[in-house]
Amino acid sequence: MSEQITDKENLVPKYSLTDAEERKLILRHYRALLRQLAPKLKKGDKETVRLAFEMSAEAHKTMRRKTGEPYILHPLAVAMICVEEIGLGVRSTICALLHDTVEDTELGLDDIEREFGTEIAKIVDGLTKISNVMDANSSQQAENFKKILLTLTDDPRVILIKLADRLHNMRTLDSMKREKQLKISSETVWVYAPLAHRMGLYKIKSELEDLSMKYLEPDTYKDIAKKLSETKRERTRYINEFIKPLREKLQKTNLDFEIYGRPKSIHSIWNKIKKQGVTFNEVYDLFAIRIIINSTLENEKSDCWKVYSVIADAYNPRPERLRDWLSNPKSNGYEALHTTVLGPQGRWVEVQIRTARMNEIAEKGLAAHFKYKEGTNVEDRFDKWFTQIREVINSQDTDGIDFLQDFKTSFLAEEIYVYTPKGEIKMLPKGSSALDFAFSIHSAVGSKCIGAKVHHKLVPISHKLRSGDQIEIITSNKQKPSEDWLQHVVTAKARAKIKDALREEKRKIAEDGKYILQRKLDGMGAAYTPGNLDEIANFYKLSSQLELLYKIAIKQIDLKELKDFSVVGQKLEQPKPVIVEKIETAYDPNAKNYTKKETELIIFGESSDQIQYQLAKCCNPIPGDNVFGFVSIGKGMVIHRTNCPNATQLMSNYGHRIVKTKWAKNKEISFLTGLKIIGLDDVGIVNKITSIISGQMKINIAGLSIESESGVFEGMIKVFVRDKEELEELVINLKKVEGIQSVDRFDAEE
């Protein structure tokens, strides 16, 4: 460490900044952090935090963020989020201050260990590994991700600090380039937001989702934000009207409580619009009423139910919407009572009932959970979750993207709770089948499962379970896993065990393939070596030697094709390919001749004849849509819309294969897209619609179907348009027709 200024008013290294205003800004952030941390500081802690701050400021002294501000403001902001929004303590603050030093500066892990000890060095090491994950290729990414999850199960603070880091990066994403914004937002919504949800950090999860949507779907985000702003006064008036009788009734119970309304997040409103197929004005729960009770631990449940009875007296509840997480808390520790009631003006309103302790766990998740757990014998659901992750990681032997997908569906999904015949509760991801339940009991039970009884009624192994189901598994010693079982399970444990069993079966069959291949290689004068097997597997585009031998055994591979191979000594050499896929080399980010200019592909522009491309069938982009290019193996460049259903997964898992893409005007080409029209069924309505499309706008119709029921019609029209502007003009004209209620785009297929 270089010489530091010792004056307590000047904690920043004297040569780290030259501008006095910046020095004051940094000190202001540092002191704000200390004030927030004050209740948790013990003797000597202040000096240790100061040392971490000085080391970080010194290490980052020449660095600036994309925003132009001194880099040290980022670690300070991350540390502040850790303390203020997650509720972490002194050690986590030190780790947050140092989290980027090992990766970005000359400061090493041994320096951190020497100054702060093994525990802090280990957390910083875990944070450094996470930073490298999303920039790696997919298979390496999976391996790193496994290491991170193992670190997480050893010390969850690693992921909590990383979530704080990601949140601050998302809050300052405006200064990044558009393609970087898309990639980072996709990673965030794909992995980090679900992880925040799973750690019980609902507020952070919502903010991460909203910020991701701001960049991935900017138009929709702005539209909903604008509508929320416009309806704020009306919402406030309604909330006050709804709360008034409740407050009066609750005051008579002598409970210590607070009651208020809060808006739902933009992302959750958008999800409801998509899932329910409704407009913004039709989303009934744009806000939720929250009631927080100050209650003793032993009276918590009874006080919450007391509040529920008061609400049920004031407003009619919707029985099927009652959510009791008091009796069965979520495995991330969330406890509450949710009910939906019919409020004034016939509007449905969600009411959430929690105690102050439950509210802190809901806001600060894991950190608060452990705080309240100290000194009690409460069953730790987080520990069970971590144990399950460890078990799956240790048995995993799958490809990278499969691993990440399994992890998402198994450990980051919403949960249901089900019962064994003896009444024991099992928590499973939403969408779990009877087969998932069987594997959750024991691997041997899952492998022999032939069916189940749900509430004493016989169901197949593929039967989807619902919360509250009681299940009894039926087994047979003659049963064994088959390939189609993978279609019926969502849990990582079930998938891993099925794959293990299938692999074992494959190995037995592959022995025959080994014998056939050995004879073939002997006849060619080549040796049966791992190197030669890899060459042949690559030639047939297979992922492993086992897959090669298995396909030979079941006669899915014709070994006569090996005649084109040459043998040098005893080593096989593949025939030289006649055509090299130009696009794979032209857009290889690791190639030395790769330049920024090459990534700016212009669709239908001068460079289009140099590139093999096609438009993605999953989202059917048209000129004017925000798009990106994806370099796929075998198909060349595939153009997707940035709000394509598959975009998030592609950009987060294969960031190195994303190419910046923009449209060039070309009025000679038309593109197929679809419009869904809903309105009042009236005489001549179809004629009016077709007149606008074909007559007024001279647009070709590729297909038209109209269904009518109870005076309302729904039309699905496929049209050929030149670009997004023409489509938007068509939508505006159709909406002017009397009786038409909505016109929405859908992705038409040829």
Catalytic residues, by residue number, are 103-104
Query: Distances from the Cα of 286 to the Cαs of 201, 261, 290, 437, in angstroms?
Result: 21, 10, 13, 35
What's the number of CA atoms in the CB half-sphere (13 Å) around residue 605?
11
Query: Distances from the Cα of 448 to the Cαs of 360, 429, 438, 461, 486, in angstroms?
Result: 44, 22, 9, 11, 15
Listed residue (436, 426, 425) closest to 464, CA to CA: 436
CA 629 to chain centre: 21
- The beta-strand segments (E) located in 229-363 are 256-263, 287-294, 316-317, 323-324, 337-342, 348-355
CA 132 to chain centre: 18
Burial class (CB in 10 A: 0-12, 13-18, 19+), 676: middle
Q: What is the DSSP letter of 694?
A: I
Helix (H), strand (E) at residue 475: strand 471-475
Listed residue (167, 216, 210) closest to 652, CA to CA: 216
What is the spatial distance between Cα 609 and Cα 589, in angstroms, rounded to a whole number? 21
Residue 262, token pair as written in the block? 């809060």
Q: If you search the block for the tokens 């491309």, which residue do you land on?
A: 613
| φ/ψ of residue 598, rounded to 5 | -65, -25
Contact 671, 664 (CB under 8 A): no
CA 466 to chain centre: 23
- The beta-strand segments (E) located in 295-442 are 316-317, 323-324, 337-342, 348-355, 415-419, 425-429
Beta bridge partners of 324: 337
Torsion sign (Cα): 301, 303, 305, 311: negative
User: 417 in helix, strand or coil?
Assistant: strand
What is the spatial distance between Cα 573 and Cα 532, in angstroms, rounded to a whole number? 8
CA 14 to chain centre: 43
Q: If you search the block for the tokens 């050929």, which residue do you land on?
A: 720
Listed residue (186, 225, 207) closest to 644, CA to CA: 186
Contact 336, 307 (CB under 8 A): no
Contact 266, 276 (CB under 8 A): no
Residue 479, token pair as written in the block? 């049963």
Q: What is the DSSP letter of 745?
A: E
Query: Distances from the Cα of 390 to the Cαs of 135, 402, 518, in angstroms?
Result: 24, 17, 39
What is the spatial distance between Cα 485 and Cα 461, in angstroms, rounded to a whole number? 9
Torsion sign (Cα): 306, 312, 317, 320: positive
| φ/ψ of residue 682, rounded to 5 | -135, 155
Q: If you search the block for the tokens 């087969």, which residue do you land on?
A: 435
Let me know how long the chain is.
750
| φ/ψ of residue 470, rounded to 5 | -110, 125
Rg for the chain, CA atoms, rounded = 30
What is the spatial distance between Cα 252 and Cα 236, in angstroms, rounded to a whole number? 25
User: 183 in helix, strand or coil?
Assistant: helix
Beta bridge partners of 453: 458, 472
Largest CA distance in the chain: 94
What is the spatial distance between Cα 746 and Cα 676, in angstroms, rounded to a whole number? 7
Residue 343, token pair as written in the block? 């409020």
